[in-house]
Amino acid sequence: MLGDTSFAIHPGKEKQSAAVVYRDIGNIISNKKTDDTYLFVCVNGSVAVQFYSDSIVRITMNQKGDPKIDQSQTVMKKPDNVAITEDFSKDIYTLKTSKIKLVIYKAPFRLIVKDENGQIIVSESDRGMAFRENGEVTVFKKMHENDHFYGFGEKSGFLDKRGEKYEMWNTDVYAPHNPETDPLYESIPYFMTLRAGKAHGVFFDNTFRTVFDMKSESDYYSFSAEGGQMDYYVMAGPEPKDVLEQYTHLTGRMPIPPKWALGYHQSRYSYETEAEVRELAKIFVERDIPVDVIHLDIHYMNGYRVFTFDKERFPNPKKLIADLKEMGIRIVPIVDPGVKKDSEYTIYQEGVNQDQFCKYIEGETYFGEVWPGISAFPDFTDEKVRKWWGEKHAFYTDMGIEGIWNDMNEPAVFNESKTMDVSVMHRNDGNPTTHRELHNVYGYLMGQATYEGMKEQLQGKRPFLLTRAGYAGVQRYASVWTGDNRSFWEHLQMSLPMVMNLGLSGVPFTGPDVGGFAHDTNAELLTRWMQVGAFTPYFRNHSALDTVNQEPWQFGEKYEAIMKKYIQMRYEWMPQLYSLFYQASISGLPVMRPLLMEFPEDEKTYNLNDQFMIGDNVVVAPILAPAITDRAVYLPKGEWVEFSTGEVYDGEKTHLIHAELEDMPIFVKKGTTVMQGEWISNKDKVAKNIQMNIYAGDSGETYRFTYYDDDGETFDYENDSYMELDIEVVSKTDAIELKVLNQKGNFSPTYKEIDVNVIGLKKTQKVIIDGKISRENNYKISI
């Protein structure tokens, strides 16, 4: 980041140019195999190699002793029982599964990973694994001319990260957020490389400050950490979707969120009183604008003390919550980690008396300043503390609350370093270490404590958790919003690659503050942003203190009508979105995808930042600049039907598309389907009628889709209470053939059939459902 004034580029400004001296791992001296681990002892350290599946290999290098292979904060999986062919010759060792071949050179230790076709995916040559005296560990990998990089969690800038250098160190950045602002709130030390249409991934499971450098050299990229081990996994792909499945096999997948959490969320820093919240809810209902959640920011608390309500501002929170629930609206309160230092405050008393707070090695509690003033911080690295914190959430669940918003959990502290003193000692479940090592997992572990506590308290209902900070695997506990953006068009633009890369990093449920958090929004920006928000996985409008209000009605009827239409569309698309969230929960695939995920052979998609896909067949191309009513839209292979006009466009071409303020261009691929429901009312959000829209093709294309439904709010789906329909549509010149290939689960929804609507059906085409020719205009699937 640049300094504050031009002094930052003063000609005489001293440069730090101390030569960086790396020590190479050196030659292999000996090797052995125990259970599932190959160990290579080298001159300057040891390397463990483990196969987590046919397609995933883990490399762990420790320069000081035996590699530690059981310390991950996030990988709960153990290596699978993989069949490995070994070939140990004089100079080279090869280890081969059915999907990857590892070639290890002995002198010095160098490693090459090849895919099942013998193509090199990750390789080292004159440089490989190395470390420095100060404890830093690094690995250099060959970078190919046509490598493109994605993932890295929450980063600003464009989709393709080639030419960038990123740091992972969870940081509270209020301003600025621009393409060079790094790091931000989340650390996901993982990336996917796309090379000539094939993909592979690397997950560097190191919680210290890490750096990924795809910028400094033209033929090498590197990743390094300030301490710890060089501990990374290579995932062989070969398709982008395979990489995601492999990465989430290791770090886990998001449980199916409650349906209400997929609806529209209204937030503001802050709705300050019970009366204000009631009024807000009333307006939504009166104007028939859908809303599922109202967030309570820090003003609901008594002096920002977590697990309290301010009795004057919120005299009867339980009643408020119950009344709102009657209206179909839930309350999600904010909970920050900082516990106010106040000897008369029970949570602080308990924290001190039960020894729950982070401490220095000498035994003093660490204090830092956040919203409540001087505060102590629970040590979430300890199971006892996580349990205590989780149990405290009974305060909220007893009032009927089912969702929590975790903020400031980097942890943010109002001091120069913006966070906790790195020398604070964490208990780390019996293996104490410093904040320097565990900083990046503090928020993630707070998420675990919160999610598990809420799950326990809610007795069978699904909790919803929103978090700002996290680490790889955060998806198991939380959805993520992208922090304090601003009401700038540039931030709307930047949010698309950011959310897409989060999706490629295993976190499917994410979104920015719609409308922009800081700075004043305006009618046009808010309207365009709401259109996009209706299709991003997480949809929350949030704004800061002292900015103009940005609820959907704030800018007059014309804009309100458009925003209302799009928020309602969110609900109409819910059956489709919910099915995609189900898919995310079983395979790790994101709901919102960059086009490259579906079209990895198409170079035009490699850095396409201003369009995205919902699932595998819908392209959304929003307007992202003021006063624009025409935009270029690139459509990949296939034929595409514009959702609102029905116009058909050829793929592999760029089209100029017209979109007045009330329109956002959406394209559905011909030969595919979209499931739709209906908007009823805030009180009753369960669609009574479900419709399957088939966009008829005619060139023999086959499309498969899994439609999923359940009660939307409990874990009963784990006991078979769900409905899964595996659907196939074949588009032929003379017929559209629809088949339910498979129906699973015991859940019976209120609707008993699904209406089928064929769009673009030709006179020459019949509609055949489950082998029977259907009567015109009365197409249905019975369930």
CB 49 within 8 A of CB 40: yes
Say whether 639 is catalytic. no
**Which residue, 185 or 643, is less far from ligand GLC as judged by CB?**
185
Exactly one of 24, 297, 410, 598 is catalytic; name it: 410
Q: In the set 51, 204, 269, 529, which binds ligand GLC (CB under 6 A)?
A: 269
Contact between 443 and ligand GLC by CB under 6 A: the answer reads: no
Contact between 186 and ligand GLC by CB under 6 A: the answer reads: no
SS3 readout for 349-417: HHHHHCCCECECCCCCECEEEECCEEEECECCCCHHHHHHHHHHCHHHHCCCCCEEEECCCCCCCCCCC
Structure-token match 């008594």, residue found: 302
Spatial separation of the C-alpha atoms in residues 273 and 771, rounded to whole Å: 59
Least distance from C-beta 542 to ligand GLC, angstroms?
6
Spatial separation of the C-alpha atoms in residues 482 and 444, rounded to whole Å: 15
Least distance from C-beta 35 to ligand GLC, angstroms?
45
Q: In the set 205, 213, 272, 407, which binds ligand GLC (CB under 6 A)?
A: 407
Per-residue string for binding with ligand GLC, 557-576, x by CB under 6 A?
--------------------
Question: Helical H runs in 480-522?
Answer: 489-504
Least distance from C-beta 303 to ligand GLC, angstroms?
14
Contact between 292 and ligand GLC by CB under 6 A: the answer reads: no
The β-bridge partners of 736 are 731, 767
**Which residue, 298 or 767, is less far from ligand GLC as judged by CB?**
298
Say whether 342 is catalytic. no
Q: In the numeric block, which tokens belong to residue 691?
A: 């419709």
Exactly one of 182, 407, 513, 639 is catalytic; name it: 407
**Which residue, 269 or 307, is less far from ligand GLC as judged by CB?**
269
**Which residue, 226 or 484, is less far from ligand GLC as judged by CB?**
484
* Full DSSP string of 744-756: E-S---S--EEEE
Q: β-strands 129-131, 137-142: how paired? A: antiparallel
Residues in 293-322 at the binding interface with ligand GLC, rule: CB under 6 A: 297-298
CB-based burial of residue 92 (10 Å sphere; 0-12 exposed, 13-18 middle, 19+ buried)?
A: middle
* Segment holding 772, helix H or strand E: strand 772-773
**Which residue, 209 or 486, is less far from ligand GLC as judged by CB?**
486
* Full DSSP string of 634-655: EE-SSEEEETTT--EEESSEEE
Least distance from C-beta 468 to ligand GLC, angstroms?
6
**Which residue, 379 or 407, is less far from ligand GLC as judged by CB?**
407
Contact between 337 and ligand GLC by CB under 6 A: the answer reads: no
Least distance from C-beta 334 to ligand GLC, angstroms?
6
State the amino acid at position 607 in one-letter form: N
DSSP state of 486: B
**Which residue, 401 or 768, is less far from ligand GLC as judged by CB?**
401
Least distance from C-beta 269 to ligand GLC, angstroms?
3
Residues in 494-553 at the binding interface with ligand GLC, rule: CB under 6 A: 542
* Segment holding 30, helix H or strand E: strand 28-34
Exactly one of 154, 205, 292, 484 is catalytic; name it: 484
* Residue whose C-beta lies closest to ligand GLC: 269
Residues in 140-159 at the binding interface with ligand GLC, rule: CB under 6 A: none
Per-residue string for binding with ligand GLC, 686-705, x by CB under 6 A?
--------------------
Contact between 413 and ligand GLC by CB under 6 A: the answer reads: no
Q: In the set 57, 192, 334, 574, which binds ligand GLC (CB under 6 A)?
A: 334
Least distance from C-beta 498 to ligand GLC, angstroms?
15
**Which residue, 182 or 513, is less far from ligand GLC as judged by CB?**
513
CB-based burial of residue 58 (10 Å sphere; 0-12 exposed, 13-18 middle, 19+ buried)?
A: buried
Least distance from C-beta 316 to ligand GLC, angstroms?
23
Spatial separation of the C-alpha atoms in residues 495 and 529, rounded to whole Å: 10
Say whether 726 is catalytic. no
CB 377 within 8 A of CB 338: yes
Dihedral (CA of 174, 177, 180, 181) sign: positive
Q: In the numeric block, which tokens belong to residue 722?
A: 């769900």
Structure-token match 């492999």, residue found: 246
Contact between 483 and ligand GLC by CB under 6 A: the answer reads: yes
Residues that bind ligand GLC (CB under 6 A): 269, 297-298, 334, 407, 468, 483-484, 542
* Residues acting as catalytic residues: 407, 410, 484
